[in-house]
């Protein structure tokens, strides 16, 4: 029904289009089960909407929801993970390794590495140095083939961030999907075993997004991206 193969950019497809489609999935399933004729007739209409940019609009909505949420994520995490990882007080990478990375980045960027004492006394100024290092590494890792692991973690982070940004919509569309089953059956209560099974699956699907998609869920790929970004220093 929707040809996503036209979206050749892996980031656009996986981090933006997929979260939007997953949001719509319960309603699509509910309509296909309860109103197969309507589902068939809508196929051509949806294809037309997609052709005129409907899927791109959904992708942008997913992106905007994620980007709007991002400041709250960074505030909850105490900063940007790709900046935090350089801090002495962050323990994602071992202290001896961090010392080597600090020295290497200081040499490559000509930006002096903050000392432990300086970071403690001037945390915001130290973060400015770490942010400059992070930007430097990103600028030297644009080749998605050479730095494929970094690119994959960036996609994973964008995917989860955008889903979290659309979390309320996942709840809304899950309820709408259940309504597609319940409302037409109210006069007769005519629900068969298939209906109950699909409703149960949709309810579980929606509840999973409501209870398990959270800041911690998004932080996992964010931290992995930061670790892969630090590894770039070995290749520049």
Integer Cα distance of 144 and 153 in angstroms: 11
Q: Could you tell me if residue 121 is inside a domain? A: no
Q: Quote the pLDDT of residue 178.
A: 92
Q: What's the number of domains the chain is made of? A: 1
Residues of the domain holding 198: 4-78+149-235
Integer Cα distance of 188 and 105 in angstroms: 71
Q: Could you tell me if residue 29 is inside a domain? A: yes
Q: Could you tell me if residue 160 is inside a domain? A: yes
Q: Quote the pLDDT of residue 25.
A: 92
Q: Could you tell me if residue 154 is inside a domain? A: yes
Q: Quote the pLDDT of residue 38.
A: 72
Q: Quote the pLDDT of residue 40.
A: 72
Q: Could you tell me if residue 54 is inside a domain? A: yes
Q: Could you tell me if residue 96 is inside a domain? A: no
Q: Could you tell me if residue 26 is inside a domain? A: yes
Dihedral over Cα of 187, 192, 195, 201: its sign:
positive
Q: Could you tell me if residue 111 is inside a domain? A: no
Integer Cα distance of 226 and 214 in angstroms: 19
Structure tokens at 192: 């068969």
Those residues with Cβ within 8 angstroms of residue 82's Cβ, 6 or more apart along the chain or in another chain: 134, 138, 225, 226, 229
Q: Quote the pLDDT of residue 189.
A: 63
Where are the alpha helices (H) located in 81-235, listed in sequence order?
Answer: 81-84, 95-109, 116-121, 123-139, 148-165, 167-185, 193-212, 215-231
Residue by residue, pLDDT tens for the chain (236 residues) are: 455 555 568 898 899 999 988 998 999 899 888 887 776 766 666 665 665 567 778 888 889 999 999 999 999 999 999 999 999 999 999 999 999 999 999 999 999 999 999 999 999 999 999 999 999 999 999 999 999 999 999 999 999 999 999 999 999 999 999 998 887 766 666 777 888 889 999 999 999 999 999 999 999 999 999 999 999 999 88
Provide the b/e sequence for 75-89 (b: ≥16 CB within 10 Å). Answer: eebebbbbbbbbbbe
Q: Quote the pLDDT of residue 181.
A: 84
């Amino acid at each position: 029904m929707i040809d996503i193969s036209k979206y050749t950019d892996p980031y656009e497809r996986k981090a933006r289009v997929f979260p939007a489609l997953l949001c719509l999935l319960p309603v699509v399933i509910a309509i296909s089960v309860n109103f197969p004729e309507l589902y068939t007739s809508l196929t051509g209409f949806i294809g037309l909407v997609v052709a005129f940019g409907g899927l791109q609009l959904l992708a942008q909505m997913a992106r905007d929801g994620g980007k709007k949420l991002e400041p709250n994520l960074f505030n909850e995490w105490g900063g940007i993970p790709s900046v935090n990882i350089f801090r002495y007080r962050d323990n994602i990478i071992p202290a001896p390794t961090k010392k080597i990375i600090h020295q290497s980045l200081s040499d490559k960027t000509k930006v002096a590495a903050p000392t432990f004492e300086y970071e403690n006394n001037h945390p915001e100024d130290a973060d400015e140095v770490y942010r400059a290092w992070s930007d430097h590494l990103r600028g030297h890792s644009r080749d998605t083939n050479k730095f494929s692991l970094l690119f994959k973690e960036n996609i994973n982070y964008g995917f989860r961030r955008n889903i979290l940004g659309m979390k309320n919509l996942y709840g809304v569309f899950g309820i709408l999907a259940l309504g597609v089953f319940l409302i037409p059956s109210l006069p007769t209560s005519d629900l068969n075993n298939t209906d109950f099974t699909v409703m149960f699956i949709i309810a579980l699907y929606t509840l999973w997004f409501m209870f398990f998609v959270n800041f911690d869920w998004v932080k996992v790929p964010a931290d992995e991206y930061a670790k892969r970004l630090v590894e770039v220093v070995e290749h520049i």
